[in-house]
Amino acid sequence: MASDSQNSPFIKHLASSDKTTRDNALDSLRTYLSGRSQIEELDLLKLWKGLFYCMWMQDKPVHQQRLARDLASLIEVLQAGVVLPFVECFWKTMAREWGGIDALRMDKYLYLIRQYLNASFRYLSRDRWSNIDGITRVVQILENIPLHPTDMKIPNGLRYHIFDIYVDELEKVGGEKMEEVPREKLLEPVRRIQKESKVKSVRNAAKEVLDDERLKAWRGEGVGGDRDEEMGEHGDEDEEWGGIED
């Protein structure tokens, strides 16, 4: 992006309260990004500020979810040299703006984060997970920004949400070919934060991710143990227990 004077109208259109204006700006952005082989970090951060407020202004859940998917799909049109800087600036923006997101707007940003984590994994899966440099860089981005183990500027709420969705999104992307997914490498940010975080609740949340039974199953480890035997003896009479009734 050439200059502030050229950037500001474009970003203002992305953050417009008018849906048609925002949609047209997003279409223009998709065309613009597809033609760039390199974009400076400062310009990407300015762009992501505009995209953040584009989401901020979007109302109605169905439109919010569509916009989140559209923003995540931008990764698909980016040239190779722009993809990971673009993703990195997304995480920097979310970490910076998290504290200002009110409760009424939080759900749409949680969905946007889910879409971006999924899109990052899908990008790595394009070549059947053979892009070792890309995998290493994505792991570094996660370790250095949203899952940094000790940076107190990173909101724990952001960390907790990533923990909640991490294995889900790996499973969605890996599908029936989880044996091809470099799971242990991609789990390094979670493993590191579980060891190094100074906050007990964060360490515990990371441990829950690492103890996910799906990970054990993908490794070929036994899942369930005694509980499987107990279920065999007593059936599934408690399977649909819905919690404590009023």
pLDDT per residue as tens digits for the range 84-129: 999 999 999 999 999 999 999 999 999 999 999 999 999 999 999 9
Q: Is residue 95 part of a domain?
A: yes
Q: Is residue 239 part of a domain?
A: no
Low-confidence residues in the chain, pLDDT < 50: 1-5, 225-246
> Structural domain of residue 17, as residue ranges?
4-218
Q: Is residue 231 part of a domain?
A: no
pLDDT score for 1: 41
pLDDT score for 246: 37
**What pTM did the predictor assign?**
0.86
The answer to whether the CB of 169 falls within 8 A of the CB of 118 is yes
Q: Is residue 22 part of a domain?
A: yes
> Tokens at residue 191, please?
């493993």
pLDDT score for 19: 82
Split into its structural domains, the chain has a count of: 1
pLDDT score for 222: 66
Q: Is residue 230 part of a domain?
A: no
Q: Is residue 149 part of a domain?
A: yes
Q: Is residue 226 part of a domain?
A: no
Q: Is residue 235 part of a domain?
A: no
pLDDT score for 13: 83
pLDDT score for 8: 55
pLDDT score for 224: 52
CA angle 185, 187, 192 (to 5 degrees): 105
| Locus of tokens 């993908």 | 218
Distance of alpha carbon 66 from alpha carbon 9, whole angstroms: 24
